[in-house]
Amino acid sequence: AGLMGLGRTELSLVSQTASRFGGVFSYCLPATTSGDSTGSLSLGGDSSFYRNTTAVAYTRMIADPAQPPFYFMNVTGASVGGAAVTASGLGASNVLIDSGTVISRLAPSVYRAVRAEFARQFTAAGFPAAPEFSLLDTCYNLTGHDEVNVPLLTLRLEGGADVTVEAAGMLFMAKKDGSQVCLAMAGLPYEDQTPIIGNYQQKNKRVVYDTVRSGLGFADEDCSYHM
């Protein structure tokens, strides 16, 4: 067990191998960890083995001197199920993208707007509410429903890139019988805290980190690689 350092510091693997791999790496996280599905990690800019179904769209990679190892970006807008949401927290250039955090934590104003629109659409579809689960406060009873049309969250990034969270990244099944299924994100306590896009919302995405050109790239991809 251990950690692979892929941060922005001089000691990270990315920095130490920059002469060989050009300061570029990418990963693709599978929607499930069951069976032999492994996902993919790539060092270097060779995209020939990617299986992305959309072009890699880039946004500016932002550095925070107070948190030098981490990667930040600017989320300028958001929509849920195609309906745009507005919030004072959108447009702040301090959103952290992190493969080590599971559930995304949004600025309170952004989370309230996303939650309200998601709940409006989901409640209108006739799904009854269920009790909260841990930090997840928006849950439903989906018992008896084999198929559910899930409103998807789309984040608009600086430069015009759109990242849409797939259905597997929108809902967390707290109970396997479907009686408690929750919106898989939460709000931060305070507006000035750092929002985080966690790995649960990065499923089936090729995420490219180009530290030389200061770019973060996103594309849709089936990340169910097999050994």
35-44, 100-109, 121-130, 135-144, range with the lowest pLDDT: 35-44
For 202, the 3-state DSSP assignment is helix
Tens of pLDDT, residue by residue over 53-68, are: 999 999 999 999 999 9
pLDDT for 136 equals 97
The residue assigned the tokens 């799904």 is: 127
Sorted by sequence, the CB contacts under 8 Å of residue 76 that are 6+ apart come out as 90, 91, 156, 157, 158
Residues linked to residue 193 through DSSP beta bridges, in sequence order: none
In the chain, where the domains are located: 13-226
Q: Is the pLDDT of residue 207 over 70?
A: yes
Domain 13-226 -> CATH class: mainly beta
- pLDDT tens per residue across span 163-200: 999 999 999 999 999 999 999 999 999 999 999 999 99
